Every structure is written in C-alpha cells, then in structure tokens.
Amino acid sequence: MSQVAIQQITGSVPTRRRPKATLVVGAVLTGLVVLTAVVSLVWLPYPLADTSGGRLEGPGPLHPLGTDRLGRDLLSQLMAGARIALAVGTGSVALAALIGIAVGLVAAFARPWIDDTVSATLDVVIAFPVLLLAMLVVAVQGASLWSAILAVGLAMSAVVARLTRILARRVLQEQFVTAARTSGTSLLGVVFRHVLPNIAPTLAVSLALQFGGAVLAEASLSYLGLGAPPPNASWGRMLQEAQGTVLTAPVGAIAPGLAVVALVLGVNFLADGLRDLADPTRRRAR
C-alpha cells in the first residue's frame, strides 16, 4: 500500500469528495433553463404573435413541438416562458430577501414587546397560503409582470423574516458578539461584521428553495389569468390554454409542465447541494 493511501486512511491527507449527485443534477437542469432564457433574448424560431402555423399541428420539421389552437409555435412560447419564470423567480426572491431580512433583523435587535408583536404578525401572514396572498395583491395592482413579482415577493417575505429573526437571535447570544458590543462596536458594525456573515449560508439555501416556490406561484397565477398578460409567454398560461385540447394535442400541456418540473427540481436539488456545502456536519455525516 502506498504512503499516500495510508495517509488518506489515517486522515492525515484529506480525500477528495466527489460533487453530490443532486448538486450536479440541479446545476444541469437549472443551467439548461437559464441557457434557454438567454437564447430566447436574441433568437426565437417564430415571433410570439405569429399565427401562420396550422392549428394544433403535431411536432414536425417546421414546428419541433407543434402549434397551439391559434397556430402559434409552441417551442417559441416555451423558450420565452423561461424568461418570465426566471424573471419572476429572481425578482420575487430578491424582494422577499430585501424585506424579510430587514424585518427579521429589526425584530432580533428590538425590545421584547416589539419582537413579540412582529413575530405574531409574521405567524399570521405565514398562515395564509402564498398563492392566496399573491392573488390579493394582483387583484389590487392588476395583472402584469411587476404585479406577479410584487405579489410573490411580499407573500414570501414573512418566511424569510422569521428565519432571519431566529438565526440572528442565535448569533447575538454568542460570546464574540458580546465582546464586540463591549468593545464599542456600533449596531451596524455588529450587523454587517458578525450577524449577516454568519447567517448568510443558511439564508442563501432558504432563498434558493423559495425560488422554486416562486416559479410555481407564477405558473399558478398565469394559469388563473393573473400573471403577465399577452403577448408575454408564460408556462402557466400555456397549460391553461392547452387543457381543452390535451387529448388531441398533448404536447401543448406536456412541454410546459415538464419545463416547470425541471426548473423547480433543478433549483431544489441545487439548494440541497448548497446546504451540504454550507454545513460541514452534514458532509461528514454522509
């Protein structure tokens, strides 16, 4: 047995860990959707409003996925729908992070009665389904891409706020934070030097999981006619339009359904892999 092998067995030389399968699969699935969205910015097989194709044509050389009941190319809609899904997912998660982290930090540093009030309010908001809250916001603002981002982001911000509060209060009990406060470090210094760096890995994983929920919420809103209006393409609206012809032209429903599943699974697998990287104890357990 070679000396390197002996060292690896005894633990004196760290062994290389192969990337977790879920991390690789998640990166591939998410990367494919991102690549599709980027390509759709510069090229589409047909304009989204082009109805020159035959109604409900099957897959063929001119239309690889066929056409819908209006004669529009399904592949073009599917590619453009990736843009909407990523835009709503990224925008809503960014908004949820901005509001949720701010509220959570305020609750963690505030007096007990303020903390209790904020916590009770967050519990009430979290008790409502995300889709229901999003529908209420869209009903007030009107159906648009920005309304979908605002609705989903506000609905998810309560979950981020509660997690931030729990993590921040845990960090504030550590001795190094007490030492920093004793040495005269300002409140903002404690937040940006000690609290945020220590809670960032866990928050990043949670936000990645929230991204998948945002994609599902956007597809649900579009299915109900509350998402981005035409001519914007949306996977949820593609499903709604194809439900009446699913038996005669099943590709119209299967393609956007698989796209939603691929993106949500990809992001969830990616978050699971990131959680293992951020938590050394989980890596050792595996």
pLDDT for 262 equals: 93
Q: Which DSSP letter does residue 192 get?
A: I
pLDDT for 15 equals: 41
Tokens of 33: 């959707």
Q: Is residue 187 part of a domain?
A: yes
pLDDT for 74 equals: 93
d(CA 218, CA 229): 12
End-to-end CA distance of the chain: 26
pLDDT for 139 equals: 78
Contact 26, 268 (CB under 8 A): yes
**How many domains would you assign to the chain?**
1
Q: Is residue 1 part of a domain?
A: no
Q: Is residue 8 part of a domain?
A: no
* pLDDT means over runs of 10, the chain (286 residues): 43 49 88 94 90 84 88 92 92 94 91 86 82 80 83 89 92 84 81 87 87 89 82 87 85 92 91 72 48
pLDDT for 172 equals: 85
Q: Is residue 61 part of a domain?
A: no
Q: Is residue 192 part of a domain?
A: yes
Tokens of 145: 């891409």
Q: Is residue 48 part of a domain?
A: no
**At which residue do the structure tokens 């910015």 appear?**
41
Q: Is residue 49 part of a domain?
A: no
Domain holding 101, by residue range, is 83-285
Look up the CATH number of the domain holding residue 258: 1.10.3720.10
pTM of the predicted protein model: 0.82
Which residue, 76, 96, 92, is CA-closest to 218?
92
Q: Is residue 33 part of a domain?
A: no
Amino acid code (one letter) for 283: R
pLDDT for 13 equals: 42
